[in-house]
């Protein structure tokens, strides 16, 4: 009997030891690989950061040598930091996602705190009569990103232009989400004649070319932030209606909706309390993608002279300044500064929005 008890105890100890080796936190789960520092990644990232720092300080204003050094430094830094991140946090680490997140946080923070930042004059040309026009970017001066032909600071114009672009695009998406979400939920819940009528309205909006619609509205409405946001919301409305309708059709047969109907809840209560919170997450994730689309649309209107009017800054009218008097060929930073800012912002919203859609949209999660 004692030998049998000893054998059983040894078997139990072996089982517990194997379980502890398999997973320190959850029995039966394979142990995660030990996190370690990637020395090859650091060997690539640190020199890359040094090269980038030298490119924006020592090589400032040298033209193509500075551009090549910036690209080489950023490329080496990204590849090195990506290796370090994979070694520390696993294969699921996405450095580009975090870079885009930091960029948007920095941009939004700068736009909100713009009046408190030590920026040079960005709008009133009376205060820049003595300032150098078309100054090249130089971090050691009061105009680190240079000036335009009136001597206005490009950094200040980019930051204040971000305020216009973000207010207009986010406001248009918010209007589209509220109005389009409500219409789409009604179409998906009531169906029949309501769904058919809303479908005709949505298809009619989609049949109008977006650029022609914006130009028509831009020529009729006064070019201020409110009117531009309302005009751009018409671009977001059809897609928001369709997405809200599709998600409503997916949720309307779920158990919590059927239970609410069985308990005698009214239609309006079901739409507001049961359907709307579940439809809101997919709409919000898609809204981030739409923000990038509407930023480009607002910049296009301002580029054509139908959006934010100069001297008020907008990324679109800043790019338009580069086509006057062949300014781009002689002073490319006039176009590159707002153009690169626009590209990075649109890219960041697109990438984060797509990841949010895969996370919160049930149709995307199945793909």
| pLDDT tens-digit series, residues 239-277 | 999 999 998 998 888 888 888 888 888 888 888 888 998
| Residue written as token pair 């300044």 | 321
| Residue written as token pair 């248009």 | 172
Cα R_g (the chain), whole angstroms: 28
Residue 15 confidence (pLDDT):
44
Contact 179, 233 (CB under 8 A): yes
Query: Rounded to the nearest 5 degrees, what angle is found at the Cα of 127, between the Cα atoms of 125 and 128?
Result: 65
Of 34-43, 141-150, 295-304, 353-362, give the range with the top mean pLDDT. 295-304
pLDDT tens for each residue of 54-77: 887 777 767 678 778 888 888 888
Contact 286, 344 (CB under 8 A): no
Contact 199, 206 (CB under 8 A): no
Residue 305 confidence (pLDDT):
84
Which helix H or strand E contains 290, and what residues bound it? helix 276-303
Written in H, E and C, the secondary structure of 315-352 is: HHHHHHHCCHHHHHHHCCHHHHHHHHHHHHHHHHHHHH
* Nearest to 349, CA basis, from 127, 169, 148, 116: 169
pLDDT tens for each residue of 229-243: 998 999 899 999 999
Higher pLDDT, 29 or 147: 147
Contact 320, 305 (CB under 8 A): yes
* Helix, strand, coil percentages, rounded to 5, for the chain: 75, 0, 25
- Does pLDDT of 364 surpass 80? no
Residue 39 confidence (pLDDT):
81
* Nearest to 314, CA basis, from 301, 327, 323: 301
Can you tell me whether residue 153 is helix, strand or coil?
strand
* Nearest to 238, CA basis, from 317, 293, 314: 293
* Nearest to 294, CA basis, from 223, 341, 231: 231
Calculated CA dihedral for residues 226, 230, 231, 233, nearest 10 degrees? 140
The overall average pLDDT reported for the chain is 82
Cis amide bond preceding 311, omega within 30: yes
Residues 6+ apart with CB under 8 A from 141: 135
* Nearest to 149, CA basis, from 175, 174, 176, 131: 131
Contact 240, 293 (CB under 8 A): no
Can you tell me whether residue 151 is helix, strand or coil?
coil
Token duo for residue 143: 């105009």
- Does pLDDT of 27 surpass 80? no
Residue range 154-365 forms a domain whose CATH class is mainly alpha
Determine what percent of the chain is predicted with pLDDT higher than 90: 26
Residue 189 CB coordination number (10 Å)? 21
**Length of the chain measured in residues:** 367
Query: Rounded to the nearest 5 degrees, what angle is found at the Cα of 177, between the Cα atoms of 173 and 183?
Result: 140
> Quick one: DSSP state of residue 294?
H
In degrees and rounded to multiples of 5, residue 223 shows phi and psi of -75, 75
Name the pLDDT band for 346 (thresholds 50, 70, 90): very high
Which helix H or strand E contains 225, and what residues bound it? helix 225-251
pTM assigned to the model:
0.81
Which string of b and e fits 65-102 if b means at least 16 CB within 10 Å?
ebeebbeebeebbbbbbbbbbbbeeeeeeebeeebbee
Can you tell me whether residue 147 is helix, strand or coil?
strand
Calculated CA dihedral for residues 52, 315, 284, 199, nearest 10 degrees? -140
């Amino acid at each position: 009997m004692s030998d049998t008890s000893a054998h059983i105890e040894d078997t139990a100890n072996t089982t517990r030891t194997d379980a502890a080796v398999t997973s320190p936190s959850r029995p039966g789960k394979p142990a995660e690989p030990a996190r370690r520092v990637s020395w090859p990644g650091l060997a690539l990232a640190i020199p890359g950061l040094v090269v980038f720092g030298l490119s924006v300080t020592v090589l400032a204003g040298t033209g193509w040598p500075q551009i090549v050094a910036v690209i080489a430094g950023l490329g080496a830094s990204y590849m090195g930091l990506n290796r370090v991140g994979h070694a520390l946090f696993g294969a699921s680490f996405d450095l580009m996602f975090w870079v885009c997140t930091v960029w948007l946080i920095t941009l939004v923070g700068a736009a909100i705190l713009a009046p408190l930042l030590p920026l040079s004059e960005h709008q009133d040309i009376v205060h820049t009569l003595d300032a150098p026009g078309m100054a090249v970017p130089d971090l050691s001066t009061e105009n680190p990103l240079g000036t335009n032909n009136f001597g206005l600071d490009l950094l200040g114009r980019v930051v204040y232009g971000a305020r216009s672009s973000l207010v207009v695009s986010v406001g248009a998406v918010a209007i589209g989400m509220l109005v389009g979400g409500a219409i789409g939920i009604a179409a998906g819940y009531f169906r029949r004649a309501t769904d058919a009528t809303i479908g005709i309205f949505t298809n009619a909006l989609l049949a109008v070319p977006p650029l022609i619609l914006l130009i028509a509205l831009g020529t009729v409405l006064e070019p201020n932030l409110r009117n531009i946001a309302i005009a751009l919301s018409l671009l977001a409305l059809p897609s928001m209606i369709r997405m809200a309708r599709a998600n409503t059709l997916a949720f309307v047969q779920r158990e919590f909706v059927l239970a609410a109907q069985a308990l005698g809840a009214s239609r309006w209560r079901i739409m507001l309390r049961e359907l709307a919170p579940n439809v809101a997450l997919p709409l919000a994730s898609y809204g981030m993608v739409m923000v990038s689309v509407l930023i480009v649309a607002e910049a296009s209107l301002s580029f054509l002279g139908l959006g934010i009017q100069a001297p008020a800054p907008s990324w679109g009218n800043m790019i338009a300044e580069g086509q006057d008097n062949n300014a781009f060929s002689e002073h490319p930073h006039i176009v590159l500064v707002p153009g690169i800012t626009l590209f990075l912002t649109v890219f960041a919203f697109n990438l984060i929005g797509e990841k949010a859609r895969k996370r919160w949209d049930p149709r995307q999660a199945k793909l």
